[in-house]
């Protein structure tokens, strides 16, 4: 059975809070896309100047992540040199860190900062060769394959070639947890699962739905 993980690109702290309120009680894990405006053009929480105060307060345990008691947070670091910021997210309570193989400068430092209690995943852009994860496969718990060509925005076109990428990775690493992120909907989800995906990260298909509860249930019942 594959896990369904709603994805949020938080335009601000209040936007994150609002979207989390829509799925409270429906899922246990939520995917938070974090963009610094360098690896991807857009900028999200907490890189807006007005939002940095919230992360500082969270790090000092003066404030909690919105609905922190209701969710496990999976933080997708769409940022340059993520190892520089991972400690902040660990202190904020992230249960899983996903860093892009294309932007990690010092993997040993990344692994050290994540530690043993937090899951570490590596993400690959759609056109990045799968072999890029080979040097790290013993040190990570999951791989996230992007199924859109342009990351950082929801509602992008789904790339049909992702099925072959999932199948190839599953064949090479039969026990690996494989997550797919980008353009996932109820139509392509069964084929993604059949190809070997364990986790489906779903953004616009959930949050642009007229019935969020019903849509999540539909995904879970696939």
User: What are the pLDDT tens digits along the chain (222 aa)?
Assistant: 689 999 999 999 999 999 999 999 999 999 999 999 999 988 999 888 778 788 888 878 888 899 999 999 999 999 999 999 899 899 888 999 999 999 999 999 999 999 988 999 999 999 999 999 999 999 999 999 999 998 877 778 899 999 999 999 999 999 999 999 999 999 999 999 999 999 999 999 999 999 999 999 999 998
CA–CA separation, 139 and 110 (whole Å) = 11
Beta strands, E only, 36-116: 72-78, 96-100
φ, ψ at 219 (rounded to 5°):
-60, -45
Give the Å distances, CA to CA, from 53 to 12, 45, 59, 60, 93.
Answer: 12, 11, 10, 11, 17
Number of domains the chain is built from: 1
CA–CA separation, 155 and 115 (whole Å) = 34
Rg (CA), the chain: 16
The closest alpha carbon to 48, from 60, 39, 36, 38, belongs to: 36
User: Residue 60 has what pLDDT?
Assistant: 81
User: Residue 1 has what pLDDT?
Assistant: 66
CATH number reported for the structural domain that contains residue 80 in this entry: 3.20.20.70
The upper half-sphere exposure of residue 82, i.e. CA atoms within 13 Å in the direction of its Cβ, equals 30
Tokens of 121: 């995943």
Give the Å distances, CA to CA, from 83 to 50, 100, 108, 146, 147.
Answer: 23, 10, 9, 20, 24
CA–chain centroid gap for 177, Å, is 13
| Residue 75 neighbours by CB under 8 Å, 6+ apart | 32, 34, 89, 94, 96, 97, 98
Instruction: Please give the residue range of the domain that contains residue 68.
Output: 3-220
Maximum Cα interatomic distance, the chain, rounded to a whole number of Å: 46
pTM of the full predicted structure? 0.94
Active site residues: 33, 181
Beta strands, E only, 163-219: 177-181, 199-202
- Helix/strand number for the chain, H first, E second: 8, 8
User: Residue 55 has what pLDDT?
Assistant: 80
């Amino acid at each position: 059975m594959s896990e369904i993980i709603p994805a949020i690109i938080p335009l601000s702290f209040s936007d994150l809070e609002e979207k989390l309120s829509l799925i409270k009680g429906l899922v246990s894990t939520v995917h938070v896309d974090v963009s610094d405006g360098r690896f991807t053009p857009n900028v999200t929480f907490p890189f807006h100047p007005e939002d940095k105060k919230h992360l500082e307060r969270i790090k000092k345990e003066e404030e909690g992540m919105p609905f922190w008691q209701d969710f496990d947070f999976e933080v997708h670091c769409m940022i340059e040199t993520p190892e520089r910021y991972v400690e902040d997210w660990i202190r904020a309570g992230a249960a899983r860190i996903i860093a892009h193989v294309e932007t990690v400068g010092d993997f040993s430092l990344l692994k050290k900062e994540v530690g043993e209690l937090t899951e570490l995943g590596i993400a690959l852009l759609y056109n990045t060769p799968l072999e890029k994860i080979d040097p790290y496969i013993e040190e990570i718990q999951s791989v996230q394959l992007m199924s859109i060509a342009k990351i950082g925005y929801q509602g992008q076109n789904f790339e049909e070639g992702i099925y072959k990428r999932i199948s190839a990775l599953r064949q090479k690493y039969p026990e690996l947890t494989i997550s797919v992120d980008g353009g996932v909907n109820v139509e392509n989800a069964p084929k993604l699962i059949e190809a070997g995906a364990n986790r489906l990260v779903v953004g616009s298909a959930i949050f642009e739905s007229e019935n969020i509860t019903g849509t999540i249930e539909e995904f879970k019942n696939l």
